[in-house]
Amino acid sequence: MAASLVLRDAAPADVPTIARFVRALAEYEKLAHEARGTEADFHAALFGAPARAGCLIAEVDGAPAGMALYHWTFSTFLARHGRWLEDLWVEPAYRRRGIAKALFARLAKETLAEGGGRLAWNVLDWNTPAIATYDAMGADTLKEWITRRLAGDALRSLAAEAA
C-alpha cells in the first residue's frame, strides 16, 4: 500500500513539531547555536495578529514528515508581493519521496493564486542534495547577489542612531 502524503496549513497544535523541525534543520546546517526561537515565538509569528509568517506541514500516513515555513516579501521591480521560503525541512526517514518538491509546488501555487510574482530562498553552498533538487525544479541561481544582514549588537547599534 502506498503512503499517503497530505500537505496542510499549520495549526497552533503544530507549534511543538515546527520548533522541533527548525532545531533539526539548524543542527543539519551546523547552525544550532543560532536557533533561539521558542515555541511561544513561533506561535506568535504564525498565529498572532497579524501573522508574520506561514507554514505548511507535510504528513505521511498522519505522521509529520516535513514543513515549509515562509513569509511574504515585496518586489519593487515587479510591484508585486511574493514569498520567501525561510525553512524547508523533511525528516530523514521521509526523504527522496518527493515531499520537498510537493511543498515547493504548493507554495508556488499559493503564491500565484495570491497574485504573487516570486518564490525565493537561500541554500547553503555545501548542501548539494538540496541544490540538485532546486536545479531539477528549474530554480535560478542568483550568483550576482550577496546576502547581507544586521543582527545582534550591529542591529542595536545602528538602531540607536535613528532619530
Q: Phi and psi (nearest 5°) for 101?
A: -65, -40
Confidence label for 163 from pLDDT (cuts 50, 70 and 90)? confident
Q: List, for residues 88-146, the tens digit of each pLDDT value.
A: 999 999 999 999 999 999 999 999 999 999 999 999 999 999 999 999 999 999 999 99
Measured CA to CA, the distance from residue 77 to residue 15 in angstroms comes to 35
Is a pLDDT exceeding 80 seen at residue 46?
yes
Please state the pTM of the whole predicted model.
0.93
Task: Supply the CATH number for residue 125's domain.
Answer: 3.40.630.30
Q: 91: domain range? A: 5-160
Q: How many domains does the chain divide into?
A: 1
Q: What is the pLDDT of residues 66-75, one digit of tens each?
A: 999 999 999 9
* Active-site amino acid positions: 134
CA torsion angle for 18, 26, 74, 48 (degrees, to 10)? 30
